[in-house]
Amino acid sequence: MPRDIRSIRNIGIVAHIDAGKTTLTERMLFYAHLIHRPGSVDEGTTVTDYDPEEQERGITIQAACVTFDWRGYHINLIDTPGHVDFTAEVERSLRVLDGAVVVFSAREGVEAQSETVWRQADRYHVPRIAFINKMDREGADYYGTLEEIEKRLECRPIPVNLPIGSGPAHFDNAFCGIIDLISMKALRFVEDKQSAQVIAEEIPPEYLDDARMWRHQMLDQLSLYSDRLTELLLTEEEVPEELIRSVLRQATIGNMVVPVLCGTALHGIGVQPVLDAVVDYLPSPADIPPVEGVDPENPKKKLIRKPDPKEPFCGLVFKVQADRYGDLDYVRVYSGRLTANSRVLNPGKNKKENVPQLWRIQADRRQQIQAVEAGDIVGIMGMRHSVTGDTLCDPKHPILLESIVFPQTVIDVAIEPETTAERKKLIDVLELMKRQDPTFRYKEHEETGQIIISGMGELHLEIITHRLVREYNLKVRVQKPRVSYRETVEKAVEVTGVCHRIVAGQPLWAELVIRMEPFPQAPKPVVVTVECGDALPPPFLKAALEVLEQQGEGGGTFGFPLMQVRVAVLGGRVHETESNELAFRLAAADAFDKALREAGVVLLEPIMRLEVTVPEEYVGDVLSDLQQRRAEIVRTTVRGKNTVIEARAPLANLFGYSNAMRSLSQGRASCSIEPHSYGPAPAEVLESLL
Ligand SMILES: Nc1nc2c(ncn2[C@@H]2O[C@H](COP(=O)(O)OP(=O)(O)OP(=O)(O)O)[C@@H](O)[C@H]2O)c(=O)[nH]1
Ligand SMILES: [Mg+2]
């Protein structure tokens, strides 16, 4: 049955590793009656961490999609991983979701990865609410975390809850409930094995002054967004709850404020209010601007599709799960209606796809459905050409949406099958893994036959090699990880690529002028642009652009992937009878090769951002160790009894860093390392290649 688009919420749960995303998701599923009792991350029994690798390690590795109803609203929720190696899962989820719940640990506050996911959400303009979890932990600090959210994340948090008590059950003033500042009630959460209840009571007298003060502050801040609210405040009249909610909703959807709630997911306090907040404050697909794309035949022409089932169909593939029975593609439907047994166009690849089956996805289970409409998320089984980032659309109304940009891999590992007989199978499996995971690559060395796999970090590649053994029964020898280099060009050059030849008795003639130049701010590895106005007929230009894009995805002079490069088509010459698309393809390939040769090579290495949290007495040792690793210290700040050191260092000098840092501090320091950028590699590395 079609759903009212206003009743849909597509949301993601994002946070630093271990903040409690999966535990929160599990609780939500329990309160929404999807499961009879909540599973536990620590026992490996949650719905969304269903993979054996996740269950054993107690961490989330891949984004999992679940669907449930709350107060008559239909919620599509994606539980994402917090570990930096799996940041692509967060990226693709935020690209297609309309809102997010950002989880913080009340004990740790705003951690390195909290900041990273926050910036990712900023980039996609995703409205969000904050949930300060783990209020039951010793050292939980709601107000401190609130202040960090405001300062470090540069946003306007608006607390709609206050905690009652803080810390574990054996504490005198243990955390036991929350105050809802909108209804001005204290909420207690009572549950047994089967059911859960939220009981609203009067606010305990000792909390009343604080609650009034925070409520007043909340109304004061919200009055910036509503004249009606300002008026009521000025005349000191009662402000209706409905008005507060609607102003808060508009301000949240407009990305101006962030409602903040608190609780403990593990002990089931404060979770139902998060579900209410998802419904009340996060947008439905109808509340966000229409999706924008371009005409695939004419990339300069912008097109939009409204979130309306009556518009022509368009959607974006954001995840592929390879399966024995074929691939399952996760698709966000932006407009129109899609039915099973229909045909769609993949405009990026210019291929028609059959859509044999549609599935509603429930973590590792799925249920077949017949149709899906604008605003929803669906699994399509049995497509042949489409991968993550591809648009699907109505063949009669083509539109190409912006693809998803993923971070560059930073680590390489050489692997080798134990027997040559297994080589073919290994390559097939790696190909399948690459389809699922856009931050995984592999390459066979042309001369030595060595297979190099590349990924986002040591854990990422360790999990991939485990999968080869566990899931596919492949025996491989794995070598030590090393840095994944990149190439860029040294200077800007202008060249003319030519095609003057005869192919199968037919003369082919084309000339294409391009400029290739360094482009440090490039949003993707190689950016191809058009600066020739209407000088070339659109089909010829399109053919040339396709080849330039393809070449850009290949390697540079030393075979390392290219990045920070811009290629602009400046013009060309057409022959009256002998020019065609093939001629322009060949001229484009010639131009690219020439430009690469003339522009010179700069070798780049991955630079990481580190955040090390160290107790005072070890700061000196940790700093001097960092300096030996060519690290640049960005800043140090004091947080409680610890110092937080933020630094940047080449990945080449950070192998084994976690262990070294732990032994320097007798196990008391912790760190988070994530890719930051690429910088010029030391001259010796380039020399060794020459
Ligand atoms: N004390 C306490 N522990 C919690 C709470 N929520 C989660 N935990 C514990 O924190 C650990 C991490 O929880 P997860 O739910 O796996 O965290 P996550 O954010 O999904 O972690 P990743 O997916 O690996 O990034 C587990 O041991 C949980 O039992 C809470 O409210 N209080
Ligand atoms: Mg998790």
The predicted structure's pLDDT at residue 332: 97
Give yes or no for residue 54 CB within 6 A of ligand 1: no
What ligand has the least distance to the C-alpha of 86?
1
18 lines ligand 1 (CB under 6 A): yes
pLDDT (mean) for 604-625? 92
Output the CA 46–ligand 2 centroid distance in Å: 9
Task: Determine the average pLDDT of the residues in 39-59.
Answer: 92
- Which string of DSSP letters, residue by residue, matches 353-404? EEE-EEEEEETTEEEEESEEETT-EEEEE--SS--TT-EEE-TTS--EE---
Residue 669 in this model has a pLDDT that exceeds 90: no
Q: In the predicted model, is pLDDT for residue 413 greater than 80?
A: yes
Q: Does ligand 1 come within 6 angstroms of the Cβ of 15?
A: yes
Position 426 pLDDT exceeds 70: yes
pLDDT tens sequence across 63-115:
999 999 999 999 999 999 999 899 999 999 999 999 999 999 999 999 888 99
Q: Which ligand is located closest to the Cα atom of residue 15?
A: 1
Distance CA 420, CA 496 (A): 45
Average pLDDT, the chain: 92
Q: pLDDT tens digit string along 292-320?
A: 999 998 888 999 999 999 999 999 999 99
* pLDDT above 90 (res 407): no
Calculate the CA 426 to chain-centre distance: 28
46, 113, 500, 504, 512 from 507: Cα distances, Å: 65, 58, 8, 8, 17
Average pLDDT for 569-581: 93
Q: Is the CB of 265 under 6 A from ligand 1?
A: yes
Residue 477, strand partner residues: 416
Rounded to the nearest angstrom, the distance between the alpha carbon of 672 and the centre of ligand 1 is 17
Task: Indicate the top mutation candidate among 103, 117, 266 to test ligand 1's pocket, ranked by most ligand atoms within 8 A of CB.
Answer: 266
What are the distances in angstroms from CA 569 to CA 89, 294, 396, 514, 584? 34, 19, 29, 5, 12
With a cut of 80, say whether residue 448 has pLDDT above it.
no
Closest CA to 314 of 322, 323, 305, 302: 305
Q: Reduce the DSSP state of residue 429 to 3 states and report it.
A: helix
Per-residue confidence (pLDDT) for residue 195, from 0 to 100:
77
Any ligand 1 atom below 6 A from CB of 41:
yes
DSSP state of 617: G
Pocket test for ligand 1, best of 13, 22, 23, 59 (most atoms within 8 A of CB): 23
DSSP string, 104-125: EETTTBS-HHHHHHHHHHHHTT
Report the pLDDT value the prediction gives residue 421, as an integer from 0 to 100.
Answer: 85
Tell which residue, 227, 233, 228, 282, has the closest CA to residue 258. Answer: 282
Cα 347 to its chain centre, rounded Å, is: 23
Instruction: Return the minimum-mean-pLDDT range out of 162-171, 248-257, 340-349, 480-489.
Output: 480-489
Q: What angle do CA 653, 659, 665 make, to 5 degrees?
A: 110
Q: What is the mean pLDDT of residues 646-673?
A: 87
The yes-or-no verdict on residue 660 having pLDDT over 90 is: no
Tokens at residue 244, please? Answer: 């507060």
What confidence category does residue 2 fall into, taking pLDDT thresholds of 50, 70 and 90? Answer: low
Residue 509 has pLDDT above 90, yes or no: yes
Q: What is the mean pLDDT of residues 422-441?
A: 92
Three-state secondary structure of 212-227: HHHHHHHHHHHHHHCH
- Give the per-residue pLDDT at 666: 84
Q: What is the pLDDT of residue 324?
A: 62
Q: Which residues of 158-191 are buried (b: 16+ CB within 10 A; e: fewer)?
A: bbbbbbbbbbeeeeeeebbbbbbbbeebbbebeb
Q: Are 612 and 660 in contact (CB under 8 A)?
A: no
Round to whole Å and give the CA distance between 209 and 231.
Answer: 24
What is the DSSP secondary structure assignment for residue 555, as one 8-state letter? B
Cα(678) to ligand 2 centroid in Å equals 29
493: its two tokens: 């050059």
**What is the number of residues in the chain?**
690
CA distance 175 to 172: 9
Nearest CA to ligand 1 atom 13: 20
Query: What whole-number distance in Å separates Cα of residue 191 and Cα of residue 185?
Result: 19
Which of 18-27, 175-184, 466-475, 486-495 is the least confident region? 466-475
DSSP 288: S
Q: What is the pTM assigned to this prediction?
A: 0.86
Structure tokens at 41: 């991350």
How many CB atoms within 10 Å of residue 226?
20
pLDDT band at 139; cut points 50, 70, 90: very high
Q: Is 162 in the pocket of ligand 1 (CB under 6 A)?
A: no
- 201: CA distance to ligand 1 center in Å? 29
Which ligand 1 atom is at minimum distance from the Cα of 80?
23
What would the pLDDT profile of 179-210 be if each residue is shown by its tens digit?
999 999 999 999 887 778 999 999 999 999 99
For residue 589, CA distances in Å to 244, 337, 481, 483, 487 come to: 60, 40, 34, 29, 19
Nearest Cα residue to atom 32 of ligand 1: 134
Q: 29 C-alpha to center of ligand 2: Å?
A: 14
Collapsed DSSP state (helix, strand, coil) of residue 584: helix
Q: Which of 13, 14, 17, 18 to mutate to test the pocket of ligand 1 (most atoms within 8 A of CB)?
A: 18
141 CA to middle of ligand 2, Å?
A: 22
> Above 90 in pLDDT, residue 665?
no
Q: What are the backbone dihedrals phi and psi of residue 331, each rounded to the nearest 5 degrees, phi first?
A: -125, 130
* Sheet containing 291-295, strands listed edge to edge, beginning at the edge strand earlier in sequence: 298-305, 291-295, 400-401
Which band of pLDDT confidence, cut at 50, 70 and 90, is reported for residue 323? low
Q: Does 224 or 535 have the greater pLDDT score? A: 224
**Cβ proximity of 375 and 284 under 8 Å:** yes
Give the integer Cα–Cα distance in Å for 557 and 487.
Answer: 8
73 C-alpha vs ligand 2 centroid, how far in Å? 24
Q: Where are the beta strands (DSSP E) in 469-531?
A: 476-478, 482-483, 486-489, 493-503, 506-518, 526-530
Start-to-end Cα distance in the chain: 64
Q: Are strands 371-373 and 314-321 parallel, antiparallel or unpaired?
A: unpaired
Task: Tell me how many degrees the CA angle 443-447-448 measures, rounded to the nearest 5.
Answer: 75
What is the 3-state composition of the chain as percent helix, strand, coil, each rounded to the nearest 5? 30, 35, 35
- Share above pLDDT 70 across residues of the chain, in percent, rounded to a whole number: 99
pLDDT value of residue 645 = 94
CB of 47 closer than 6 angstroms to any ligand 1 atom: no
Distance 530 CA to ligand 1 centre (A): 49
Higher pLDDT, 29 or 194: 29
Residue with CA at minimum distance from ligand 1 atom 5: 266
